[in-house]
Amino acid sequence: MMTNKGFHVAVVGATGAVGQQMIRTLEERDFPIRQLTLLSSARSAGKTVSYKGEEIVVQEAKPESFEGVDIALFSAGGSVSKKFAPEAVKRGAIVVDNTSAYRMDEEVPLVVPEVNKEDLKNHKGIIANPNCSTIQMVAALEPIRQAYGLKKVLVSTYQAVSGAGKEAIDEMYNQTQEILDGKEIKPEILPVGGDKKHYQIAFNAIPQIDKFQDNGFTFEEMKMINETKKIMHMPELSVAATCVRLPVETGHSESVYFEVETQGLSAEDIKSKLSGAPGVVLQDQPEEQIYPMPADCVGKKEIFVGRVRKDLDEDTGFHMWVVADNLLKGAAWNSVQIAETLIDMEIVKEK
């Protein structure tokens, strides 16, 4: 792509749900792109994707595909990142990886720009994009932590099927129509494509996202717990999560209980820190029935917070409801935002 200025950007997983959003976000942000390389598995190679009116042919990812690439955005599954991210780095690219492959690697910064962009300075070639449900929560908690400290976080999630990919979206809509038509359904994807059993998602709620660990928590829940501590640089923070999949296409919601260090605060104190915080929009007027909902957040880059209220028993405890587009702030936009921040901070420079 086709100007002399800017960067050579590669998108790995260009035909997936998040990859598509990455390309749309690069376009919308008018990201400084000199050349755009779109990569995928052999299966999807040969498809074309439009970018700024031009049709680009998606190529099969190979080590050589990364020759000359400045910034590579990966979102094609952990095994693809494990295989190709080191190849991209070897060839001089900086990688922003949206899979879980490197998130807990001590050498790899795990970044939400509103929270810990300074960590980008320590990168060794790969930067990890956190899990979707983690990103929106830490970005909402950060302005509160800065002002009042943070001791404890308990979250129950209400997560959309698009986090499980395009096939999960199709399954939800097809299954919904089958149920409305009184037909028998045959779940094949959700809750987890690679797991043994599959359950109805239409008109249901499934308390499993990703597979189970031996401790009874799912990997998704452990991601929220461990990633939150890493991003906030708070290994001592108490965090627990229960993650639940809903029949919602896009937009994760979270019921978050948290305890701060400071005593005697009111809900207004918390709201005053959320209002105007980077990337956060406060939508909190119960008397007007104004609160965030997934159906309203789709296509938006911000994190929406409402239902802020003080716990009735614990002086330092508060509740809030956090909603964001899991494909944008939860994935594509946070990745592109990391890339923009790398440029702003002059960590990546034009060659």
Binding residues (CB under 8 A) for its own copies: these are 152, 154, 156, 158, 173, 176-177, 180, 191, 195-197, 199-200, 203-208, 212, 215-217, 225, 238-240, 242, 244, 246-249, 253, 255, 257, 267, 286-289, 291-295, 306-314, 317, 319, 321
Q: How far is the CB of 200 from its own copies (least distance, A)?
A: 5
74 vs 158 by CB, closer to its own copies: 158
Q: Is 163 annotated as a binding residue?
A: yes
**Number of Cβ atoms within 10 Å of the Cβ of 236:** 6
DSSP letter at 303 equals E
| Nearest C-alpha neighbor of 170 from the set 201, 198, 204, 139 | 201
67 vs 311 by CB, closer to its own copies: 311
46 vs 149 by CB, closer to its own copies: 149
Q: Is 326 annotated as a binding residue?
A: yes
Annotated active-site positions, please?
Answer: 132, 252
Q: How far is the CB of 27 from its own copies (least distance, A)?
A: 25
Q: How far is the CB of 256 from its own copies (least distance, A)?
A: 9
Q: What counts of helices (H) and strands (E) characterise the chain?
A: 9, 14
Q: How far is the CB of 298 from its own copies (least distance, A)?
A: 10
Q: Is 24 annotated as a binding residue?
A: no
Q: Is 40 annotated as a binding residue?
A: no
Strand partners, 252: 324
**Residues ≥6 apart with Cβ < 8 Å to 119:** 109, 110, 111
1 vs 185 by CB, closer to its own copies: 185
d(CA 345, CA 351): 15
| Nearest C-alpha neighbor of 215 from the set 194, 241, 178 | 241
35 vs 242 by CB, closer to its own copies: 242
Q: Is 306 annotated as a binding residue?
A: no
Q: How far is the CB of 198 from its own copies (least distance, A)?
A: 9
Amino acid identity, position 63: P
Order the strands of the 238-242 sheet from edge to edge.
Answer: 238-242, 152-158, 252-259, 317-324, 303-310, 280-282
Phi then psi dihedrals of residue 294, to 5 deg: -60, -40
Q: Is 245 annotated as a binding residue?
A: yes
Which H or E run contains 55?
strand 54-57
Binding-site annotation, residues for substrate: 159, 245
Residues at the annotated binding site? 15-18, 43-44, 103, 159, 162-163, 245, 326
